[in-house]
Amino acid sequence: MKIKNLLLCGFVLASGIGAGVYFTQYYPEQAEVRQLEKQIQRDYYGGTFKLSDSEEKEIAPERLRVLAEKGYAVAQYGLAEFYQENENNTLAKKWYEKAAEQKMAHAYVELAALEENKSDKKALLEKASALGDAKADYNLAVSYLENDELTAAMLVEKSAKAGYFDAMSSLSIMYREGIGVKQNWEKAFDWSLQTYQRAKALNVAAVDLSMLVTKNINFLFEDTYKQLAIFYLLGIGTEKNEAKAQQLLAERHSPVQNKTLKKILEELSLDELKVEILTMDIPKEYQERVAILEAEMNSNRDPEFWLKLGEKTEDQTKAKGYFGSACDFGSQKGCDKCRETNEKEMKKE
């Protein structure tokens, strides 16, 4: 009986010591590791989840160093980020490599960003892609785009389906422009809508300078609000909805933080967008919808509307007609513009 009691006491004592060690040392480490994992996922992919107040707190570099030296890959990655932010790429590379040795895909992507040799950069991205990293797929697509648009499009779509924001935005462009895929404005609408919804969830602007570069197109500027408004005005991929188009144009500036983008984005009214649509290169299968929009616009008796339409139209014959409408509705400027356009045509003859 005494032996049993002694064994029981020993077991309780050992359990107490083990629990003490766990809650004073091991558990805090695990909590910090989980915090780091959530922070990295949120920052890296633009995760839609919100972190708790405790998870939002930064872990000090000294503590990161302790955790990194204990072999936690996320801490090694976090420490590498710290060094990179402080422009110490040598140490950043060292710790990214340690995280990559533990098959942390994100670390391979960051190593690729630090690599100048194109073939080595590509090899690192391929390792990350093999581990299922959506950002790696997107960056690989950019490297393929100039010479192999089909592979690039496949990689962008894979990345977009995994929820990588830049890929979702770029895939809409690819379907709209027919880059690596058959041109399909219904699919372009679908990916524009998903990009918009993702941006809303992340509380960021659905406006950016795309990384996509081809032989004919350099740095495509993507304005998801405007593109969706066009789709809603023409009823492409969705029902025609002028109110929704108006809402999108109203939202267009509010979330934009980048000063360069703010300068690029000019205020755009619904009437101005309608005018622009008439001057755009719209696929043939939607020309009938454009004609319907133009017929609806013809009932507009505001001379300023027709002046803007004439000024944005490159076709001088059409421009003269628009200026003539502005003149008919009482605009002297419209009359003057109509006369000037007519004189230019006569000189050419």
Residue 23's pLDDT is 39
Whether 7 maps to a domain, the answer reads no
Out of 132, 165, 185, pick the residue that ends a domain: 132
Task: Kindly state whether residues 162 and 205 are assigned to the same domain.
Answer: yes
Residue 5's pLDDT is 54
pLDDT band at 12 (very low <50, low <70, confident <90, very high): very low
Whether 99 maps to a domain, the answer reads yes
Task: Kindly state whether residues 228 and 305 are assigned to the same domain.
Answer: no
Task: Kindly state whether residues 71 and 150 are assigned to the same domain.
Answer: no
Task: Kindly state whether residues 200 and 289 are assigned to the same domain.
Answer: no
Whether 340 maps to a domain, the answer reads yes
Whether 284 maps to a domain, the answer reads yes
The whole-angstrom separation of Cα 170 and Cα 153 is 9
Whether 202 maps to a domain, the answer reads yes
Q: Give the pLDDT confidence of 125-157 residue by residue, as tens digits.
A: 999 999 999 999 999 998 888 889 999 999 999
Residue 27's pLDDT is 60
Residue 305's pLDDT is 82
Q: Do the Cβ atoms of 185 and 175 come closer than 8 Å? A: yes
Q: Give the mean model confidence (pLDDT) for residues 296-323.
A: 83
pLDDT band at 14 (very low <50, low <70, confident <90, very high): very low
Whether 148 maps to a domain, the answer reads yes
Task: Kindly state whether residues 38 and 76 are assigned to the same domain.
Answer: yes
Q: How many CA atoms lie within 13 A of 305 on its CB side?
A: 18
The answer to which of 65-69, 146-150, 312-316 has the lowest mean pLDDT is 312-316
Task: Kindly state whether residues 249 and 281 are assigned to the same domain.
Answer: no
Whether 332 maps to a domain, the answer reads yes
Task: Kindly state whether residues 101 and 193 are assigned to the same domain.
Answer: no
Task: Kindly state whether residues 145 and 246 are assigned to the same domain.
Answer: yes
Q: Give the pLDDT confidence of 248-271 residue by residue, as tens digits.
A: 998 887 766 666 666 667 778 888
DSSP notation for 192-237: HHHHHHHHHHHT--SEEE---B-SS-BS-EEEHHHHHHHHHHHTSS
Q: What is the count of structural domains for the chain?
A: 3
Q: Which residues contact 117 (CB under 8 A, 6 or more apart)?
A: none
Is 11 a residue whose pLDDT tops 60? no
Taking all residues of the chain, what is their mean pLDDT, rounded to a whole number?
83
* Range(s) of the domain holding residue 347: 269-349
The whole-angstrom separation of Cα 37 and Cα 16 is 30
Out of 132, 166, 197, pick the residue that ends a domain: 132
Residue 59's pLDDT is 84
Out of 116, 132, 148, pick the residue that ends a domain: 132
Whether 9 maps to a domain, the answer reads no
Task: Kindly state whether residues 95 and 29 are assigned to the same domain.
Answer: yes
Task: Kindly state whether residues 273 and 225 are assigned to the same domain.
Answer: no
Task: Kindly state whether residues 206 and 289 are assigned to the same domain.
Answer: no
Residue 135's pLDDT is 93
Residue 40's pLDDT is 80
Q: How many CB atoms lie within 10 A of CB 207?
A: 22
Task: Kindly state whether residues 44 and 119 are assigned to the same domain.
Answer: yes
SS3 content of the chain, % helix, strand, coil (to 5): 70, 0, 25
CATH code for the domain in which residue 198 is found? 1.25.40.10
Is 244 a residue whose pLDDT tops 50? yes
The whole-angstrom separation of Cα 156 and Cα 143 is 11
